[in-house]
Amino acid sequence: MKLERVELLHVAIPLVTPFRTSFGTMTSKDTFLLHVVTDEAEGWSEFAADPEPLYCSEFVAGAELVIRDFLLPRVAALPAPTTAAVAPAMASVKGHELAKAALETALLDAELRAYGMSLATFLGSVHERVPAGVSVGIKNSVPELLDDVERYLAEGYLRIKLKIEPGWDVEPVRAVRERFGDALPLQVDANTAYTLADADHLRRLDDFGLLLIEEPLEENNLHAHARLQQRLRTPVCLDESIHSARDAASAIALDACRVVNVKPARVGGYLEARRIHDVCAAHGVPVWCGGMLETGIGRAPNLALAALPGCTLTGDTSASLRYFAEDITEPFTLHDGHLPVPTSPGIGTTPLTDALARFTTSRRELYAARR
């Protein structure tokens, strides 16, 4: 496989409703797609982070520079940029996992399309469909939250995740439990909003039978999360703190978490995500696949990951309509609370020409092979 061309397409797609978390409010998905052309096939991927470095240190403009000036020259120098060779070639560039994930995924998509193999088959997925959960952002009032939860349950979602922050935690959770009962699979996500000094307050959440509390403290602080877990009955789930299989192994050894949310973009791609899954499965730690408000280009491969055998908890792979009135791919639609795992070669989907044209704000060629 020879690399011929790499194109970046900046897209901006309005969200159906604003999505608020402890680190800000999003009103659109503003990011870029990578389009890779080889001598055998084409591939697509989506950069998962945002225009500003608020959720994580990476951001759209910075990732474009890293891919163009540092990652692509190393990959283009390979005799054959196969997926197995790409990660070692990029390893000398420190960090920038989301940028690396975008490039690796586009190349993996092209390689698998050339072989006629789906990503689900490549990863070892064992399910044809996966249960769908939904993430509910911070609202202006409890009644507004309850209305949203009721609507999502009516649509068929099988698990509810509530975003929380100081001042919006115990009361919203209590209201949801009182309205919808103890049988509702319910979890919360703090996105690093608390400190260890809040442990006694967070312990109040133990009364509500939550599946987990996700990343309650500052990211990468495994020691603090381990101390918090000692004081909570609710399982701590790590998300932002897990960047690699090594991080997952360390967190498990320290009992800093009892559940792991694996986001392929955050850990450098689907190959490392599979390794994290394997580490957790070997230690009996449940895994689930998180989401970053992806378009269909990012949602399709996430479904393949969510279908791995160790992904025993419902993930955030919601239907397209949860976020977008119109997606840039064929929409992913909920059926009996589940989404189908794509079976076509590669990631299993491609952009719709007309939709992509409407939502593309700019496009740039990052690489072209010399003729």
**pTM for the full model?**
0.95
Q: Is 29 a catalytic residue?
A: no
Taking only the tens place, the pLDDT of each residue in 266-307 is 999 999 999 999 999 999 999 999 989 999 999 999 999 999
In the predicted structure, residue 23 carries a pLDDT above the cut 80: no
Mean per-residue pLDDT, 160-189: 98
Instruction: Say which amino acid occupies 229.
Output: Q
296-to-103, 144, 164, 187, 225 alpha-carbon distances in Å:
17, 28, 27, 25, 33
Taking only the tens place, the pLDDT of each residue in 32-65 is 999 999 999 999 999 999 999 988 899 999 999 9
Q: In what order do the strands lie in the sheet with 3-21?
A: 42-46, 24-38, 3-21, 360-368
**Considering only 15-24, 136-145, 192-201, 245-254, which range has the smallest mean pLDDT?**
15-24
b/e map 103-131, b = 16+ CB within 10 Å: bbbbbbbbbbbbeeebbbebbebebeebb
What does the mean pLDDT of the chain come to?
A: 96
Rounded to whole angstroms, how far apart are CA atoms 364 and 355?
Answer: 18
- Topology classification of domain 121-340: TIM Barrel (3.20.20)
Asked if CATH classification 3.10.20.90 holds for the domain at 3-116+352-368, the reply, yes or no, is no
Quick check: 43 and 104 in contact, CB under 8 A?
no
Q: Is 2 a catalytic residue?
A: no
Taking only the tens place, the pLDDT of each residue in 325-350 is 999 999 999 999 999 999 999 999 99
Taking only the tens place, the pLDDT of each residue in 68-87 is 999 999 999 999 989 899 99
User: CB neighbours (10 Å) of residue 366?
Assistant: 18
Q: DSSP characters for 134-181?
A: EEE---SSHHHHHHHHHHHHHHT-SEEEEE-BTTBSHHHHHHHHHHH-
Quick check: 308 and 336 in contact, CB under 8 A?
no
**Per-domain residue ranges of the chain:** 3-116+352-368, 121-340
Mean per-residue pLDDT, 17-26: 84
Q: Which of 155, 73, 135, 109 is nearest to 269 (CA)?
A: 109
